């Protein structure tokens, strides 16, 4: 039986999705929004639109020394010079979206930020600006607060911090088992394992 999704793209809110994919041995090549903090999906949407239009030449800013800012609200303290890394990871992100029809975008949020139908619509349209044939793609939004929003591009999942307390690197068995259950539930191939180790400075 073929999988519903071919690849997973982490979209923040912090590094949790990257850690979870790594700990589940499902981490593949790193894309533009990993190892960054982004307070809202809307900031990701705005950055994607700039990338899609090719107007992201000045998207990087330096703030307080080492912190790099994308789109003013997406920041990281991992890098002192992100320019070359950004270009490589941005191109990889765009290539993955353009060349695949079955992408699962994954975002994990700790906050009680409430999204509207329009917010998800805007995100979907940003993806469509990169790949108009993205009907098989989905956004998996994992939140610690329940969100009742029905949108064809959206998959909602509730993370219960009481049953799976979140540790810093998402390495506990509860965290890993929850994430694998969610991925498998929604048709991601959890058996396509890799032993490659990734971190914030990985070339891959």
For residue 67, the model assigns a pLDDT of 81
For residue 165, the model assigns a pLDDT of 83
**pTM as predicted:** 0.94
Question: What gap in Å lies between CA 37 and CA 108, rounded to an integer?
Answer: 11
pLDDT bin (cut points 50, 70, 90) of residue 204 is low
The three-state DSSP-derived secondary structure of 169-203 is CCCCHHHHHHHHHHHHHCCECCCCCCCCCCCCCCC
User: Which residue matches tokens 């793209």?
Assistant: 9
- Does 65 score more than 90 pLDDT? no
Q: Summarize pLDDT for 67-105 with one digit per residue, the tens.
A: 888 877 999 988 888 999 999 999 999 999 999 889 999
């Amino acid at each position: 039986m073929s999988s519903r999704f071919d690849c997973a793209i982490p979209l923040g809110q912090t590094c949790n999705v990257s850690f979870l994919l790594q700990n589940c041995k499902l981490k593949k090549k790193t894309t533009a929004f990993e190892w960054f903090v982004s307070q809202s999906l809307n900031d990701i949407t705005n950055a994607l639109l700039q990338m899609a239009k090719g107007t992201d030449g000045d998207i990087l800013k330096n703030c307080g020394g080492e912190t790099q800012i994308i789109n003013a609200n997406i920041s990281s303290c991992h890098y002192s010079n992100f320019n070359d890394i950004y270009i490589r990871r941005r191109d990889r992100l765009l290539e993955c979206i353009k060349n695949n029809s079955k992408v699962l975008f994954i975002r994990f949020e700790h906050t009680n930020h409430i999204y509207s139908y329009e917010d998800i619509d805007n995100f979907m349209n940003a993806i469509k600006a990169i790949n108009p044939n993205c009907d098989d793609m989905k956004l998996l939004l994992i939140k610690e607060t329940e969100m009742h929003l029905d949108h064809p591009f959206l998959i909602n999942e509730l993370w219960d911090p009481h049953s799976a307390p979140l540790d810093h690197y998402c390495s506990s068995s509860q965290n890993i088992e929850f994430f694998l259950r969610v991925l498998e539930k929604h048709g991601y191939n959890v058996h396509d394992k890799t032993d490659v180790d990734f971190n914030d400075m990985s070339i891959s």
